[in-house]
Structure 1
Amino acid sequence: MSSPDLHEAPFAALDLSSDSEHSTPQSDSEALSRRERKAQFRLNKHRTDAYAAFLRSENLQSTAHLFDPRPRKTLCIINLGLGAAGCATSSRLEQVFSAFAGFERVVLKHNKPFSFARFRSGDEAKVAYDAVHEKPCDVFGGKLLFIEYLTHVQFARLADHEPQSSQVLDESRGLFYVPDFITKSEEQMIMQSIRDDEERELRMRGIQNDAQSDKWFKIQDRFVKHYGHSFDYHTKHVGDASLAASLELPAWIRPYIERIRSAVPSYTCQPDQLTIQRYPPGSGIAFHADSHTAFTDTLVIVSLGTPVQMDFRKPGADCFTSVDLQPRSLVLMTGEARYGWEHAIRIRRSDLIDGTVRKRCERWSLTLRTISQSLECSCSYSALCDSNDAMVRDLRTHKHAKTQITQGSV
């Protein structure tokens, strides 16, 4: 096998000939001092060694397709890993990055020479990058850290890669699809119940104009409404209770919860959160995995109205599949399908199904979740897990403190 091609990496080609300790000093005033030349030589050597170790660890020939020159929210620390280069730990790595605004979490993989730091945005990650990249790090004894930006998919590829030959998403991996979960008449009854609830809420507020109702929220081009608990689309976690239409699930949904148990016997959850979504033609939702710590291990989606294609991907293994969600069908995600795969509805006005273009019309969905009281997750899908996010740790600390106060007052 040919040696790794470092010259294809996104950093400058490493030409060390001019940095050799035996180079002839330049005579003009801009020439580097002997000490500076030695420092530059050592920097280039450390950089070359670090990237070479990274390539070897992943059996790669080049980093050209891994890293992005543009700021991204995920930083890859090339030469600092767990049980390998640098003897990093989560707590020590957090010492380096938690001082920067927007920091969310660090991710380390055992016996890998690299690690990750995630931020809310690329701009916030850039501030940390500029401050830490190729600069001595006191937390690690003055070690120079080499940092790159990763795209979301490449982060998952490096963090969760599993060298398996086949990864079909089916019931064995936690994806259940039940066609005709409800009848046409039940579908109509549900839609009428949604309208009745809305009219009742408007009357209770003394509001006559539907547009003034504050319990429907527009998220991009779709409309959402929550029962039991709201969902905060900024934090991607449980939201303020005042944003829910009701703190209880509507009565009309309860008979269908029992039916889920009959359709999928392994379903033992007692859902306490319902999200109703209305998708106008052409709208969709980006690839995502629902928060691991906000909700327990099972999600249920019932489709109403018209069909749509839902896509699933497992970034860590470059796997992709689609499910054609027919009206009145049910999708249940648990285990690997819930934690290790993302799902999405592409933003477009038609789907290509078996070679035929099918136009989209308005679709509704009912999503049932169960709130996680522990705010913990111990899954093995680091790229999609938020258990170590700074915000989630703060939520756990606040919850623990509140519990202590409550117990002390009893």
Structure 2
Amino acid sequence: MTQLGLFAEPQEGPAGLRYTDDFIEAANEQALIGRIAALPLQRFQFGVFEGNRRVASFGYRYDYSLQRLAEAEPIPDWVAPVARQVEAWAGLPSGDIRQVLCTEYEVGVGIGWHRDKPHFDKVLGLSLGAPCKFRFRRRNGDRWDRHTLEAMPRSLYMMDGEARSQWEHSIPPVEARRYSITFRTMKRA
């Protein structure tokens, strides 16, 4: 018989970061990859700069030239069942996810250090096709606290609390083509 300790084991990584492997089945992963690959993906635009990853936004998108949220195409019907599954895992009310970003990372493409825009609250990501190193950092005096999460295919992460508000995250260049679906809730007024 295993005896439980009085105190919980300290959580590894930023407070508010949750992760689970095998969130979806392999067949569902392949179907989602096919759907994303068929989208009219465009290079990520941030102002006059263009990123190497290709994206499609639904519900809302952040317009970097206007520096505000803009409405986007409605969240597609094929994403809705996964969004409901993600909400259930995160303990969110059905329909709380209001923004979806589908992303394709070619070999050698990553994303630099950043925090998601403050208009969004919880950020959840479904990793598809290939693993990636999901890196976190936050300033701690004159040094950086760092954490790396190996996000496996079909895994899901959630950033909330400190992981969302105090830590930046990035993905170094991927070694194999990777797709992701990012699900975001909106900040409450």
| TM-score bin, normalised by smaller chain | 0.7 to 0.9
Match of 1:169 in 2: 13
Q: Say if 2:18 is the partner of 1:194.
A: no
User: Would you say the 8 A contact 1:236–1:291 is kept in 2?
Assistant: no
Deviation at 1:226, TM superposition (A): 0.5
Task: Report 1:222-237 matches (<5 A).
Answer: 222-233=53-64, 237=68
Match of 2:4 in 1: none
Hey, what's the Cα distance between the residues in 2 that align with 1:186 and 1:326?
Answer: 15
Structure showing greater Rg? 1
- Structure 1 pair 195–300 and aligned structure 2 pair: CA distance change class (3 A): same
Percent identity between the aligned chains? 30
Q: Say if 2:126 is the partner of 1:295.
A: no
State the SS of the aligned residue for 1:290. coil
Letter in 2 for 1:176: R
State the SS of the aligned residue for 1:217. strand
Match of 1:90 in 2: none
Considering Cα pairs closer than 8 Å and 6+ residues apart, tell me whether 1 or 2 has the greater RCO.
Answer: 2
Structure 1: 5+ residue stretches without partners: 1-165, 199-212, 350-359, 375-410
Match of 1:310 in 2: 134
- Per residue, is there more helix in 1 or in 2? 1
Q: Deviations 1:128-156 (Å, cap 9, x if unpaired)?
A: xxxxxxxxxxxxxxxxxxxxxxxxxxxxx
Match of 1:47 in 2: none
Which TM-score applies when normalising by structure 1? 0.39
**Runs of at least 4 residues of structure 1 off by over 6 A?**
none
Q: Deviations 1:167-218 (Å, cap 9, x if unpaired)?
A: 9525xx110011011111001111223345x3xxxxxxxxxxxxxx5x6234
Hey, what's the Cα distance between the residues in 1 that align with 2:12 and 2:65?
Answer: 32
Hey, what's the Cα distance between the residues in 2 that align with 1:233 and 1:302?
Answer: 24
Hey, what's the Cα distance between the residues in 2 that align with 1:280 and 1:263?
Answer: 29
Task: Report 1:1-400 matches (<5 A).
Answer: 168-170=12-14, 173-196=15-38, 198=39, 216-218=42-44, 219-233=50-64, 237-238=68-69, 240-241=70-71, 244=72, 246=73, 248-265=74-91, 267-268=92-93, 270-292=96-118, 294-296=119-121, 298-316=122-140, 318-346=144-172, 348=173, 360-372=175-187, 374=189
- Per residue, is there more strand in 1 or in 2? 2
State the SS of the aligned residue for 2:140. helix
User: Would you say the 8 A contact 1:178–1:263 is kept in 2?
Assistant: no
Hey, what's the Cα distance between the residues in 1 that align with 2:51 and 2:185?
Answer: 25
RMSD: 2.4
Deviation at 1:263, TM superposition (A): 2.7
Deviation at 1:272, TM superposition (A): 1.0
Which TM-score applies when normalising by structure 2? 0.80
User: Would you say the 8 A contact 1:237–1:291 is kept in 2?
Assistant: no
Hey, what's the Cα distance between the residues in 1 that align with 2:68 and 2:146?
Answer: 26
Letter in 2 for 1:313: R
- Structure 1 pair 237–338 and aligned structure 2 pair: CA distance change class (3 A): farther
Structure 2: 5+ residue stretches without partners: 1-9, 45-49
